[in-house]
Each structure stands twice: as structure tokens, then as C-alpha cells.
Chains A and B, each alone.
Chain A
């Protein structure tokens, strides 16, 4: 949310006709400029952005710093490509335009797109950089297009002479499959030193790139919060159920030894997340195909999950409560906690060894008693049935 006035220096020289960025360098640059303008004006409504071109007949200011996004985008139309870029003059004119900004409280920033070879000497560029630093103007450089000998060094030298406190940045974008704007979105040029425009940038990325972005479920929470929330909830339920099932499986194996509580917990935990991670990936693919159907299924599964866990808890409560008032109180308290945590409690109660140890301490209960054994076996069956359901589901998805 830094209050900033920005001047963007566009390279519209002959070198921009090249098609190594799609569709051509100039178009890629224009897209990036549009995105930057949007990000700046969104991060703070009082921000202003101006645009100038560096090549053609000479340096020409297309629009002086303004907060009107429409005006800025309009002036990007009908730009002609030709001539040679004059970097030094471009930066100096940009500095002058910033000096005469209306709101003197704004920080000054220049963003330069350097796509063609630089004909100036390094010394001259360093001098310009120092002047910018003296007048507290920050400079962002986008090095793309021509890969000239000495161009990266010159640009790095300029950056070094301007930079004070890491307010200035440089980004080298080689030609490749990724669009120029996509590469820039993750850089500090967009994210503004770690705050501000990142939410806008992320939203723009999701919209532009068609959903394959850094979001958990391929859905932008800004665009569709309800869907994102439902997906997140069902994912968590699924993960918890996974953990319970995995824990059950691990603990069944260790049941003869009378399994130590903490170790089974740990192994179950490590198995749980890895299983749920693969789950998450599969879920993502499904969502791409058929969101509604999957959402339905996820919700159903989570509904089943909660009802079954409730059953578990209820049976335990009635069995133990009958025998020992202290235990009853303890179980009540722990179940209350459990309702907050949800499935954690059911996991604990599902752990046979834990339950059997509790029951063993009860005065009237004998673990070898057939009815107790039946109860424990039934708990085991319920979680095993869940395992079976999970098995065919995973096979289907694969």
C-alpha cells in the first residue's frame, strides 16, 4: 500500500518486432505494462502511473502520472514500433515527469523495459543512477529481448548505483514458453517489496493463465469464495479421515505388541499427509473436469464421516459411563474437546489399545469379556469398512 508515482518507460524500437516472445516482443511488453498499471492502481487508489516511449523519433511522454487506468490503457493503443531506444534520455525524462507530480507525498519510481541493445557507456548510466538515488527515485529494470554482450552488466551497474535499501530491482526474462507478464508477476516489481499488489497479481494470474496457478484447488478465493471454502472444508475432512484410517491400519499391525501410543500416532501422521497430498492432486484434476459432481461426493463423504465418528463416541460413552463416574466425567470432557477438534477424538477412541487400556483400569470391566471384545471388534470393522470404501474410490480415480 505504498503511495507511489510510477513512470513506465517502454521500448518501442525496431528490435521489438522479433517474435521470440509470443506473439511478438512489443505485444508481450504491452501486456506486462497493462498488468503493472492495474496492479499499481489497485494496491493504492491514490497511486499514479505515467507512460513514455523511448524509441521512435525521440522520447515521448504518452501520459503524465495519473490514477485514471482507462487513460493509461487507451494511450497504449496505436503505438508504432521503430527507431532506436535512448535509455539515458528516457530515464531522465521520466525523472523530470515524476518531479512535477501533483502529490509530492508520493514515492517516485521508474520502471524501464530494456529490450534492445544499450548504446550508452556504463559510466554515463552509473551517473544517471546516482542522480536518481540522490533524488530518492527507485528504479525497476526489466531486461528482456536482445541478449547483447555487456547489456546485463550495464543494467546491473545502473541498479547498483541506484539501489538504496533494496527499493530497486532488476529482472532478467529470457525468451521462452512463459509469457513476459507471467514471469513478472512473481517478481518484486509486481509484489512491491513484499506487500501490496500480490493479491491482485495472483487474481490476474488465475484469470489470465486459466486456473493453473498457485492456488490449492485451482479456484481463486476472490472469484468464488463459497466454492473455495467448500473445497477446503471437504479436503480437511478427507485428510482427517485418511489419517484415522491410516492410523488404524498401522495400529492393527502393532496390535499384538500392544502398540505404543506415540509411535503409532507418528507413523499414522506421516502416512496421512502423504496420502492426502496425492489425494489433493487427484482432487485437483477431478475439479477441472467436473466440479459439481465431485463436490457432491466430497460433501457426502464428509457427512458420513461425521456421523460415524459420532456413533463411535456414543458407544464408548454409554459402555464406560455405566461403570465409573470419574471416567464418565473424563470422557465427557474429552468428547467436548473432541467436538471442537472433530475427528481427532474419534481417532483416539478408534485406537483400540488406548480404549482397551482405559477399560482395563475400570473396576468392573474385564477386557477379555466377550461383550467388550465384540465392541472393540465392531469399532475395528467400522474403520475397516471405511478403508474398503477408500480403496475402490482411489482405483476409480486412477
Chain B
């Protein structure tokens, strides 16, 4: 736990779960029973009984929009040893991708997850590519044991906020 918190809260990094725009979150090929909130939402993702599972085959396409522009530093993907994800691609600011166009443009970053990653060690991303992120698409290409179903226990995103205008803070200048 301390290792995680140390890596998570360094240089002012925050857990970006609070900035996720839940109304736009989508996941293609997820099992109807084991769905994305199990892996993403606070509380659900800590629960070992709840996980995200793929449906027709082992690939998953997760689309996460944010309510504010963020800078993404690292991602922790936790899953079981056998069915946890292996090849993962990240796309920044691509709306509504489908399985057919994942190979159409280059990903912002790719990663092969190791056992350590699946236990909680976060993946450090190419920070320069994720400076201005409105939405993140995670494409899970295959899993560790090449099994039919991919299981993901938890997905945690770490980063910082950009200094954007807070529209609520805008006030009319009062005449003196």
C-alpha cells in the first residue's frame, strides 16, 4: 500500500478518478455482468469480487472522457496473473474508436504489462504525449495466458490538472 501511495502521490500527482466524465464512459466488448465501473469506480475497484471482463473475445476497448483537461502521468492496471491484460495501447483525444480503426493511427503509447504491473506497479507513460488530454482510449489487445477472456481488476489513472478557466469562478466586475 505504501509503495502504491508513494508512486501515486509524487510530484503532486492525483488520482484522476474524480475528473472522469461518467456520462461518456464506454467500453466495447465488455461482459454485461462484469462491466467497466467494476474496474474504474472508487470503491468498486478495491473490491476483489468485482472485476471487468471481456465478452466475445479477449480484446477490450475502453473510452474514458474527462470533465477537465488533464495531464496524464501514469496508469496502474491490476489484474489476475493468467487472464490479466498483456498488450495495451493508449490513444489520447480520439473520440469513439472502434475495433476496426485501432490500427488506423498510431497510439500515443503502447505497453506490455508484466507481472509486477498486474500486481500494482504503475506504468509510466510518455508524459509529453499526454499533456493535453480530454479523453483517453485504452485498447487491450490480448492477455497474459492468451485465454478467451481478459479480466481486469482495477484501472487507476494518475496525473495532474491543467490550469483551465473555472467558469463558475468567473464573476461580473462590479462597478464601484
Q: How far is the CB of B150 from chain A (nearest CB, A)?
A: 13
Q: How far is the CB of A366 from chain B (nearest CB, A)?
A: 76
- Known: A104-B96, A164-B55. Is A134-B32 also a contact (CB below 8 A)? no
B28 at the interface (CB under 8 A from A): yes
- Provide the bound-state CA to CA distance between A104 and B24, in Å: 10
- Provide the bound-state CA to CA distance between A99 and B57, in Å: 20
- Provide the bound-state CA to CA distance between A133 and B32, in Å: 11
A313 at the interface (CB under 8 A from B): no
B68 at the interface (CB under 8 A from A): no
- Provide the bound-state CA to CA distance between A133 and B54, in Å: 11
- Known: A130-B56, A165-B32. Is A135-B98 also a contact (CB below 8 A)? yes
Q: How far is the CB of A209 from chain B (nearest CB, A)?
A: 37
Q: How far is the CB of B96 from chain A (nearest CB, A)?
A: 5
A136 at the interface (CB under 8 A from B): yes
- Known: A164-B32, A165-B32. Is A134-B96 also a contact (CB below 8 A)? no
Quick one: which of A225-271 are within 8 Å of B by CB?
Answer: none
The interface residues of chain B lying within 8 Å CB-to-CB of A104 are 95-96
The interface residues of chain A lying within 8 Å CB-to-CB of B29 are 133-136
B32 and A130 form a contact (CB under 8 A): no
Quick one: which of A104-123 are within 8 Å of B by CB?
Answer: 104
A135 and B32 form a contact (CB under 8 A): no
How would residues 84 to 103 of chain A score, 1 for a CB under 8 Å from any chain B CB and 0 otherwise? Answer: 00000000000000010000
The interface residues of chain B lying within 8 Å CB-to-CB of A164 are 32, 55-56
How would residues 155 to 166 of chain A score, 1 for a CB under 8 Å from any chain B CB and 0 otherwise? Answer: 000000000110
Q: How far is the CB of A134 from chain B (nearest CB, A)?
A: 5
B127 at the interface (CB under 8 A from A): no
Please, could you name 10 A-B residue pairs with CB atoms under 8 Å apart, sorted by A? A99-B100, A104-B95, A130-B57, A133-B29, A133-B55, A134-B57, A135-B28, A135-B98, A135-B99, A164-B56
- Provide the bound-state CA to CA distance between A136 and B98, in Å: 11
Quick one: which of B3-39 are within 8 Å of A by CB?
Answer: 28-29, 32
B59 at the interface (CB under 8 A from A): yes
- Provide the bound-state CA to CA distance between A99 and B99, in Å: 11
Quick one: which of A137-184 are within 8 Å of B by CB?
Answer: 164-165
Quick one: which of B49-95 are within 8 Å of A by CB?
Answer: 55-57, 59, 95
Q: How far is the CB of A92 from chain B (nearest CB, A)?
A: 11
- Provide the bound-state CA to CA distance between A221 and B56, in Å: 45
The interface residues of chain A lying within 8 Å CB-to-CB of B32 are 164-165
Q: For chain B, give the interface size range.
A: 10 to 19
Instruction: Name the one of A99, A134, A136, A165 contacting B59, with C-beta atoms under 8 angstroms.
Output: A134
What is the chain B residue whose CB lies nearest that of A136?
B28
- Provide the bound-state CA to CA distance between A135 and B27, in Å: 10
The interface residues of chain B lying within 8 Å CB-to-CB of A165 are 32
Sample of 7 more A-B contacts, CB < 8 Å, known A134-B55, A134-B56: A104-B95, A133-B29, A134-B28, A134-B59, A135-B98, A135-B99, A165-B32
The interface residues of chain A lying within 8 Å CB-to-CB of B56 are 130, 133-134, 164
- Provide the bound-state CA to CA distance between A135 and B29, in Å: 6
Q: How far is the CB of A325 from chain B (nearest CB, A)?
A: 67
The interface residues of chain B lying within 8 Å CB-to-CB of A136 are 28-29
What is the chain A residue whose CB lies nearest that of B33?
A165
- Provide the bound-state CA to CA distance between A80 and B57, in Å: 40
Q: How far is the CB of A132 from chain B (nearest CB, A)?
A: 9
- Provide the bound-state CA to CA distance between A134 and B55, in Å: 7
The interface residues of chain A lying within 8 Å CB-to-CB of B28 are 134-136
- Provide the bound-state CA to CA distance between A164 and B33, in Å: 11
- Provide the bound-state CA to CA distance between A342 and B73, in Å: 75
- Provide the bound-state CA to CA distance between A6 and B95, in Å: 22
The interface residues of chain A lying within 8 Å CB-to-CB of B100 are 99
- Provide the bound-state CA to CA distance between A165 and B29, in Å: 13
The interface residues of chain B lying within 8 Å CB-to-CB of A135 are 28-29, 98-99
- Provide the bound-state CA to CA distance between A286 and B100, in Å: 62
- Provide the bound-state CA to CA distance between A337 and B95, in Å: 64
The interface residues of chain B lying within 8 Å CB-to-CB of A134 are 28-29, 55-57, 59, 99
- Provide the bound-state CA to CA distance between A99 and B101, in Å: 11
- Provide the bound-state CA to CA distance between A229 and B96, in Å: 50
- Provide the bound-state CA to CA distance between A312 and B32, in Å: 63
B55 and A99 form a contact (CB under 8 A): no
Q: How far is the CB of B95 from chain A (nearest CB, A)?
A: 8
What is the chain B residue whose CB lies nearest that of A104?
B96
Q: How far is the CB of B72 from chain A (nearest CB, A)?
A: 23
Q: How far is the CB of B117 from chain A (nearest CB, A)?
A: 25
- Provide the bound-state CA to CA distance between A104 and B135, in Å: 16
The interface residues of chain A lying within 8 Å CB-to-CB of B55 are 133-134, 164
Q: How far is the CB of A193 from chain B (nearest CB, A)?
A: 14
Q: How far is the CB of A199 from chain B (nearest CB, A)?
A: 28
Q: Which one of A133, A134, A165 has the highest number of Cβ atoms from chain B below 10 Å of its Cβ?
A: A134
The interface residues of chain A lying within 8 Å CB-to-CB of B95 are 104
Q: Which one of B56, B95, B100 has the highest number of Cβ atoms from chain A below 10 Å of its Cβ?
A: B56
- Provide the bound-state CA to CA distance between A99 and B96, in Å: 9
- Provide the bound-state CA to CA distance between A207 and B55, in Å: 43
- Provide the bound-state CA to CA distance between A164 and B95, in Å: 25
- Provide the bound-state CA to CA distance between A135 and B101, in Å: 12
